[in-house]
Amino acid sequence: MKNSTGILGKIAGMMIIAVALFVVGAGFIVLGVTFLPLIGILVSIPILGLSLHFLTQKAIGMKRVAGFLVPNNVMFHPGHAWARLEEDDIVTVGMDDFAVKLLGPVDSISLPEEGSKVKQGFPGWVMKADGQAIQMLSPVEGEVVAVNRMVADSPGAAFEDPYGNGWLFKVKPYNWTSNLNNMIIRDKVGEWLEDIRDKLASRRLAPALAPLYADGGEPVRGMAKAVDPERWDDLAKEFLLAWPPRKLDRHIKV
């Protein structure tokens, strides 16, 4: 926590300096003094860029585990959805990087309507690809208060930035603390993903999975089709715990 606070403090300092340089420079230009203030503005632009870069990367703490992206500000459900508690006690929901890599592009995403209810461990949204429907489980229980219309209109957004702009919907939870009991324990996330990677690879070491073992790289999207082109939807449903729900494994709090 102290390290995170220190990083945020440094980032804030950089941004303050950059903004100050920009404002002062702009002010002098208005007064007709153009040379040195212009340098100040030019210097401030890359500083602002670096500040924003580190703010989104360092502060959030994104890392790659077993070949898949894992941010430190979300909780994972065993059905490969994530949930993030926001400051207003609203929970944002999305699908994780494993689901993105497993499925690859889809034709459509059907999200719940605002005002509807979702239940943890039950279908929360439906994705369709090649005529097959994949139901993913909601990681939380509560009332849907917002839906990401951009994702509903352009499903690719959820696959390009699953932990950011690709969020799916927001929920006012009935009991967030109780929901946490069925999430992946934080210090078990790495082991959980490694086990899943090994189980998937045991079906057949497809080219899509090779980077996970060669150098810890990123697998291609559409792993299910690469491993089992004919029954990829059954494979996807198995690993996403698609309906009906399956028994939770030893990494889950019960």
One domain for residues 136 and 32: no
pLDDT at 103: 94
Measured from the Cβ of residue 98, the count of other Cβ atoms closer than 10 Å reads 26
Which residues, 6 or more positions from 224, have their beta carbon under 8 angstroms from its beta carbon? 102, 103, 104, 232, 233, 235, 236, 239
Bin 90: left if φ > 0, else alpha if -120 < ψ < 50, else beta.
Answer: beta
Asked if residue 41 has pLDDT above 70, the reply is no
Measured from the Cβ of residue 178, the count of other Cβ atoms closer than 10 Å reads 12
Asked if residue 118 has pLDDT above 90, the reply is yes
pLDDT interval class at 202 (50, 70, 90): confident
pTM (two decimals): 0.72
One domain for residues 211 and 240: yes
One domain for residues 91 and 39: no
- Quick check: bond before 244 cis, omega within 30? yes
One domain for residues 85 and 190: yes
Which residues, 6 or more positions from 86, have their beta carbon under 8 angstroms from its beta carbon? 92, 170
For helices 2-30 and 35-57, angle between their N-to-C axes, nearest 10 degrees: 160
Q: How many folded domains does the chain comprise?
A: 2
pLDDT interval class at 168 (50, 70, 90): very high
Most confident of 21-25, 40-44, 81-85: 81-85
One domain for residues 85 and 9: no
One domain for residues 146 and 221: yes
Measured from the Cβ of residue 117, the count of other Cβ atoms closer than 10 Å reads 13
What CA–CA distance (Å, rounded) separates 210 from 220?
A: 9
Asked if residue 6 has pLDDT above 50, the reply is no
One domain for residues 53 and 107: no
One domain for residues 121 and 197: yes
Nearest of 155, 36, 169, 149 to residue 105 by alpha carbon = 155
